[in-house]
Amino acid sequence: MPTFDDLKQSCADDWRAYCQHEFIRDLGADTLAKDAFRHYLEQDYLFLVHFARAYGLAVYKSRNITDLRRALASLKAIVDVEMGLHIEYCAGWGISESDLKTLPEARATMAYTRYVLDAGNRGDLLDLHVALAPCLIGYAEIATWLNAQPFVAHEGNPYASWIAMYASDEFQAAAAGEKAWLDEHLAAVTASRFAELSTTFRDATRLEIDFWQMGLDRRF
């Protein structure tokens, strides 16, 4: 029976390149350029908008009340809580809410968010969750990995609060819940179906790599 860990293993090199990207290493070591982080934060706001749309799609794609409630809770958390927190966090970096509302989308932002929505539209709820997994579960793994690295600067690092946010018990629990949901649903798929899902997961992971690179290069 396949699990989420099997999805990661199916694209182990890409997963490592994503979770240990230069952007992440520089962020942890406090060597990341401030304007690179600001560019990432701005585009991450736009990503959140489409992330919310994806969970709206998950509500529609749900075939039982349990999945529907789960998707609705995630949608409400993004719209009612996370977006407000992100706007507040951006303000601390000199990015106003009005700035965020008039931002152009970088190509990397468009590529990953539209890929997720397309995966959900053409597939089922599992396809959508697999396409979203690199973000939710990946960020939790990145924070855990960073906290275990000797090169990470915890004192005086302006990015320490970003690491702490994704290392928090709340976020780690959300990622663990998503992983458990995926394990449960992957256990029922055939080998050919798992191969399809692995392709989706690999492509989504590669697009997440491009998102980090977009931030590093300050690229639109």
Q: What angle do CA 17, 171, 118 make, to 5 degrees?
A: 60
Tell whether the model's pLDDT for residue 219 goes beyond 90: no
Look up the CATH number of the domain holding residue 125: 1.20.910.10
Q: What is the pLDDT of residues 135-187, one digit of tens each?
A: 999 999 999 999 999 999 988 999 999 999 899 998 899 899 999 999 999 99
Contact 205, 13 (CB under 8 A): no
Rounded mean pLDDT, 90-107:
91
- What one-character DSSP code corresponds to residue 95? -
Give yes or no: 208 in active site.
Answer: yes
Report CA dihedral (137, 143, 149, 155) to the nearest 10 degrees.
Answer: 180
CB 202 within 8 A of CB 119: no
- Confidence at residue 25, expressed as pLDDT on a 0 to 100 scale: 97
Say what the pLDDT of residue 211 is: 95
Name the pLDDT band for 203 (thresholds 50, 70, 90): very high
Angle at 71 between CA 210 and CA 97, to 5 degrees: 55
Q: Which of 63-67, 84-88, 122-126 has the lowest mean pLDDT?
A: 84-88
Taking each helix axis from N to C end, the angle separating 169-186 and 125-147, rounded to the nearest 10 degrees, works out to 140
Q: Which whole number is the average pLDDT over 67-88?
A: 90
Identify the domain containing residue 201 by its residue range: 4-217
Amino acid at 187: A
Q: Give the pLDDT band (50/70/90) at residue 49.
A: very high
What are the pLDDT digits (tens) for 24-46? 999 999 999 999 999 999 999 99
Domain tally for the chain? Answer: 1
Average pLDDT on 8-28 reads 96
Average pLDDT over all residues of the chain: 93
Query: What is the per-residue pLDDT for 213?
Result: 95
* Catalytic, out of 11, 19, 90, 135: 135
Whole-number pLDDT of residue 83: 87
Give the span between the Cα atoms of 127 and 186, in whole angstroms. Answer: 10
Measured from the Cβ of residue 149, the count of other Cβ atoms closer than 10 Å reads: 12
Query: Would you call 135 a catalytic residue per the annotation?
Result: yes
